[in-house]
Structure 1
Amino acid sequence: MQVLNFYSTIFADQLKRGRKTATIRLGDKSHKYKKNQAVMVTIGYQHSPREKIFDAVIDQVEVKRVRELTPRDIEHDNPEFRRHEEMIHFLEQIYGKKVTMEDIVTVVRFSQIIVHPPSFTDARLGIGGAQN
């Protein structure tokens, strides 16, 4: 299974709460990630133990220039950001190099795979969840 890894533990809470539903990676990564592909979402550094957060499915892979990123693209990557300047600064920190509005990025949108979601009928009958 392919791994979608995040280096910063600050993303763990955002991922677990469903607030982070995309990642913006510098360069064209369309050869690496494909729509409908299952991935394991993890957090940790290379050559170190990693924490599995959840399994996910890739919903969309878009290659575009930084200047073409929408506020929604940016927000889905980092709920604290909305502006290109914030995203550029963040990418520069991660990749350790200058990033411009003309650089190519890949926006990878993903959804968590839930093993046993309650069915609609179960929810109406109050089975398997909190009772009213």
Structure 2
Amino acid sequence: MRVLNFYSAVFADQLRNGRKTATIRLGDKSHKYRKNDCVLVTIGYQYSPRERIFHAVIDSVEVKRVKDLSPRDIEHDNPEFRRTEEMVHFLEQIYDRRVELDDIVTVVRFSQIIDRPPTIRDRLHGIGGAQN
């Protein structure tokens, strides 16, 4: 099984709350992630313990230039961003190098795998979900 790892604990809440549903990685990662693959989403640094967040299915893998990222691509990666300039600055921080608009990135969209989605009826009757 492949791992889709995030280094910043800042993403933990966004992932758990379903606000982060994509990752934009510098370079062509289409050989590493493929549509319908099951991945383990984790948070942590290399050579350190990682926190398991959830299993996910890869919905799509798209290779494009930074300048071709849509506001939606950017928002799915980081709900706080909308503009390409914000994404470029963020990628420069992560990869510790200058990122150009012509650089290639891979947009990996994913969906959390849950045991069984609660139905509307379940929610109305307090079954299968968080109870107050």
TM-score above 0.5, yes or no? yes
**CA–CA distance in 2 between the matches of 1:114 and 1:21?**
14
Q: Who is 2:109 aligned against?
A: 109
Q: Who is 2:23 aligned against?
A: 23
Q: Which amino acid aligns with 2:23?
A: T
**CA–CA distance in 2 between the matches of 1:111 and 1:123?**
21
Unmatched tracts of structure 2, length 5 or more: none
Distance change >3 Å, CA 86–CA 123, structure 1 → 2: same
Distance change >3 Å, CA 130–CA 8, structure 1 → 2: closer
Q: Who is 1:33 aligned against?
A: 33
Q: Who is 1:13 aligned against?
A: 13
SS in 2 for 1:11: helix
1:119 shift after superposition:
3.7
Residue deviations 1:64-120, cap 9 Å, x none? 000000001001000111111110111011111110000000000000000132245
Q: Who is 1:58 aligned against?
A: 58
2:48 is the counterpart of 1:48? yes
2:83 is the counterpart of 1:69? no
Unmatched tracts of structure 1, length 5 or more: none
State, as a whole percentage, how many aligned pairs show the same letter: 76
**CA–CA distance in 1 between the matches of 2:4 and 2:130?**
32
Q: Who is 1:88 aligned against?
A: 88
Q: Which amino acid aligns with 1:55?
A: H
**CA–CA distance in 2 between the matches of 1:113 and 1:128?**
15
**CA–CA distance in 1 between the matches of 2:112 and 2:61?**
16
List structure 1 runs of 4+ shifted beyond 6 angstroms.
none
1:127 shift after superposition:
3.3
**CA–CA distance in 2 between the matches of 1:19 and 1:73?**
13
Count of residue pairs brought into register by the alignment:
132
